[in-house]
Structure 1
Amino acid sequence: MKVIVADQETETDYYGAFVIRGVPKGQHFVTIKYGDSVLVENRRMNTEGRNSSVEITVDERIPARFLFQGRVFDRNTKEPIEVFEVATCKDFPDMLQPYLLKRFREQRHPEGIVNDRFVTLGDYTMYVRSRGYAPFPLQFTIDENWDLHRVYEFPLYRSATLEAVVYGPNELSISGAAVMPRQGTVHGTAAGKIDYMSTDSMGRFTLYTLPIGIQSFLIYHIEHGTGRAIVELEPGKTTQIKIQLPRKGALTGDITINGKPAKFSEFKRRTSGSGVDLTRSINYNAPGQYEVVITPEPVTIMAAVNPIDGCSWFDRRMELNAVVVMEEPTWLDFNFSAGPGTIYGDVSLRETAPRAVFVEIVYNLGKDSQRERILYDLGTTSSFRLTDLPLGSGTFHLYASPRSMSKTDFASARALMDRKEQSFELDAANTSVQIDVAL
């Protein structure tokens, strides 16, 4: 496309970007053309600072280089959906952004075929929805090797509803609190729409326009402050939650396992010895959020969780530091995440086979001795393969014994077991590590 400003012109690159040098400082009016067609006229831009993106609707005036085709159908019946709506944005946002809700456009096809056209390279997220169905997000990347003949699938789930009531720190419901995605985008800011809605006079809001799965919300009120909620939406179901904004002086933050809201099995403030147990003092003021009131000073928190379905470990815990202040909530997140890492190997004991094998993986989480520990019971195995590990560096500890042992016995018996440790590092270039242990 041709860009004209201050009697100078240039063309956009494959990513839709352009730069014109040598123009006078200040504000200018920009015109964008394709061939003889004027697509944008008198768009204000400034040489000082960052200019917002220019959005152009791709129509018959612009020959599209990249054609997209997909198939929309009911996930359960596999029947095609003939009438549906489509909206697309650049990049891979964590959630459906509020500004996109008004950009869905209807398409019709008897076989549920969705068609779209693109003119620039880049990462895209396309959402397809239909009446009674939740939006389905599909992420894809257009590059020079784009396959024009590939057909993407959009298996739509039945829509989900979220009903919530928002309370202030004083436990009274609050109206006018903005409900927004926790992670926004530059495009949403430029479009001037960053929230889904605000709470009504009873502090309530209802959302039925979001995809199925994990949704992470930020709640903001100018007087009462900021709160969060992490919700898992299920097809065809209504989820009802309460969100209470944290109090000033409280320690608060996320508590999740693999992105899903969870609760602590242990929560201790480390002092001398084993620490002060605060597990029963925790208030879960929203799904995936905790709050506890402690004295304002530097603290070290030791927190543990039990596994959920799909986890192969039996105990996981973090030690994190924070400085609690009285003037505002102190945020400290405990997100126990899975990753693409794998550690595998073989175990052998002198003159006998192991009857009990345990592994403890300790990650270094930065300075001040912050760490995460993951415990596995490998039973009587002579080989192991630990998957879904986060990337990072730390120490691998293997404990083995010729006697059988339960998980509950391990904590007291570990000091007497045969043990070997080895440092490791998992990163994007090397997601797997082999560690063979001979004791």
Structure 2
Amino acid sequence: MTEQGVRWTADQVLALAPDAASRAAGSKLGAASPWSGTGTCGEGTVWGECKGGGSTPYRTVVDLAGRSGPAYQCSCPSRKFPCKHVLGLLLLWAGGDAVVPVGQAPDWAARWTEGRRERAEAPGGGVADPEAARRRAERRAERVTAGALELEQRLTDLLRAGLATADGAGYGQWEETAARMIDAQAPGLAARVRELGAIPGSGPGWPVRLLEECALLHLLDRGWLRRELLPDDLAATVRSRIGLPAPAQGPPVRDHWLVLAQYDTVDPKLTTRRIWLHGTASGRTALILAYGAVGRAPEVSLPVGAALDAEVSAYPGGRQFRVALGEQFAPTAPSAVRPPGGTTGQAAARYGDALRHDPWLDAVPVTLDRVVPVPDGDSWQLADTDGDTALPLAPAARSRPGLWRLIALSGGTPVTVFGECGHQGFHPLTAWAEGPGEAVRLA
């Protein structure tokens, strides 16, 4: 124990790494030899100087008590976030007071931490011209409507010609339609159009999958064109699926939030980080989305298995999980709490219920209790030990190392698994063995 609470474990530190190479490089720097002037204080700051290739050491500082989670600063030129020096410093700090003693932060570390916290606490500016903002929103809505009408015609032409023609049309036509949706300022429609273009020729049964996705896209189009007739929550969901931004509007909810899972998805232009939280008092499951430009990891990063005393505010929409992380009242610390779980049948029913409020929902967060991974032909499924139901694993989860970590953790005995349950199956993200033990990341 220190003044700033329980120190993290090495696994929780390495969970912040943006990739496997960073984990390996950071682990090598988790020894005392390249470091000097290390220290930590009760206000949640860790600092140190690491010897590099030049004459000047790299100055590294971490703010563990930031309102939006841990924050980092390093003078090295790395474009990865956090860099290997941050990971090495935190691994050193996890080792205890002997290597990173409690003390007073040097000026360079204190200035950065104080400046960052002052900026975070500064009140945001309001809308300079509400009328101009209203006119901009109206113009964008008109462009989105024009794009939705054009997309409706594209879907109508496809169905009239027959789905079989989609296989020979090539991806270029879909990409052109997606570009038109970008021009219409409807990025959500563009993303779904690109998904359509990848379905033809994707394997047996592709016409059925194409028809299903066309139906969902048509439903989203019609939802936008008749949004005035929809209930407020469903209209907000449609706007979100179209890709129109909206601020978090829900009242702040303070809780001790358990970090259930964190994983990144990467495309050529953007890295999206998904962080799932469980409110230990409210029982609520919440999702933080963070983004990073190409080549850079998102700034928000929370160690899986840790808990934070913080406020979150919900985004608009029916049964939406997404929240904005607000003020954090104490540094993130390891936790022995586990989320309550249910059966595989209850998980499937939860997804079905969620679809009534958001038909475009790919998956919902669920925790499965007392399940065992078992082979199912060429695939795997999670079977209830106290019942006769099971959930198949999603295709994306079948070839990942996390599957084998899950199988090894279980060893034929029941485990608790948190993940996302959707129309493609169950995607396991984190697991706990029976009895005491830390969370094991699967993604």
How does the TM-score come out when normalised to structure 2?
A: 0.22
Q: Larger radius of gyration, structure 1 or 2?
A: 1
Give the structure with the larger helix fraction: 2
How does the TM-score come out when normalised to structure 1?
A: 0.22
Give the structure with the larger strand fraction: 1
Higher relative contact order (CA 8 A, sep 6+): 2
